Structure 1
């Protein structure tokens, strides 16, 4: 019996715009881990230095403060009886697992993966808070004229927002092509 010899397909570059499933997942998990680390370190620091509701003016438009958010973004469902803690924890863990799948599948798409890694790091940073404390620690308070305050947020929330913006930018670039 004669066997045909197959030639090896040329390997794709690691960071192509079309993506390759052979690219490493490690760097993207590293980005998420850095977000989690920065988020948790800042929350621990604020929780040790402030009492709940305490505010330290930093500039004319920014304060450091300590707030506990049992709900989601902008305190959505914050007044619910406690079941929301488990719902948002499950959503965060589910999202992280789906993001790992997407990162493995599209690891070569740099902007897309930056977005996903930031979102995953932020989601897991807030999941850690929910599991440890039953609420998320928020401490960044931007305001206008001391009477119009944006909802207090944290590093995890900022990473999720930046990741969402990068995701939209990536999609707009993809549509443009």
Structure 2
């Protein structure tokens, strides 16, 4: 099996910038709005959805919250950068015909960059979407970047269950 060529690089990068860039801009814009105006909770639906500004200094679901910031921040910087580079490499080697996979990867890259920029610039990630069921079950507060990463990963998983495509050989 040969590695797909990286021909038509500008088109691939344009696609990545369009899809990933749209997620990145949406994430950064909504976080800006949350920082500027939603420091007080805003009710969307009383019993289950609020906007509530949170500065997340830990990882997803509060992971690594008990570790010192001196250890946590370099860890997040290193792992975040490695993940973004690997996702970009995977994207650039994904054949153009695999549209859903390319869209999923670009979506994850946009989301990962959104949270990475927060960590580097603010030393925390801005979260603001709070979902809950009454006063009993609270989902961890999240942001648009988190939605992009989870949506992209879920679509990649769904794509993996699809029937493999027949490769057409030139010859």
Specify the TM-score bucket, using the shorter chain as the normaliser: 0.7 to 0.9
Deviation at 1:66, TM superposition (A): 0.5
C-alpha separation in 2, matches of 1:79 and 1:162: 28
Deviation at 1:176, TM superposition (A): 9.2
Find out whether 1:163 has 2:152 as its counterpart: yes
Deviation at 1:174, TM superposition (A): 4.3
Deviation at 1:175, TM superposition (A): 5.5
Deviation at 1:102, TM superposition (A): 1.4
1:144 equivalent among 133, 142, 148: 133
Deviation at 1:146, TM superposition (A): 2.7
CA contact (8 A) 2:38 2:51 kept: no
Q: Where do 1:85-104 residues align within 5 Å? A: 85-104=73-92
C-alpha separation in 1, matches of 2:50 and 2:165: 40
Find out whether 1:68 has 2:70 as its counterpart: no
Given the two structures, how large is their TM-score scaled by the length of structure 2?
Answer: 0.84
C-alpha separation in 1, matches of 2:65 and 2:52: 18
CA contact (8 A) 1:21 1:106 kept: no
CA contact (8 A) 2:56 2:127 kept: yes
2:72 equivalent among 84, 88, 92: 84
Which ranges in structure 1 are unaligned for 5 or more consecutive residues? Answer: 1-18
Aligned counterpart, 2:22 = 34
Q: Secondary structure, in 3 states, of the residue corresponding to 2:162?
A: helix
RMSD: 2.0
| Deviation string, structure 1 residues 88-143 (Cα, Å, up to 9, x no partner) | 22222211111221111114111111111111111110001101111101000011
CA contact (8 A) 1:85 1:135 kept: no
Bigger CA radius of gyration:
1
C-alpha separation in 1, matches of 2:5 and 2:103: 15
Which ranges in structure 2 are unaligned for 5 or more consecutive residues? Answer: 167-171
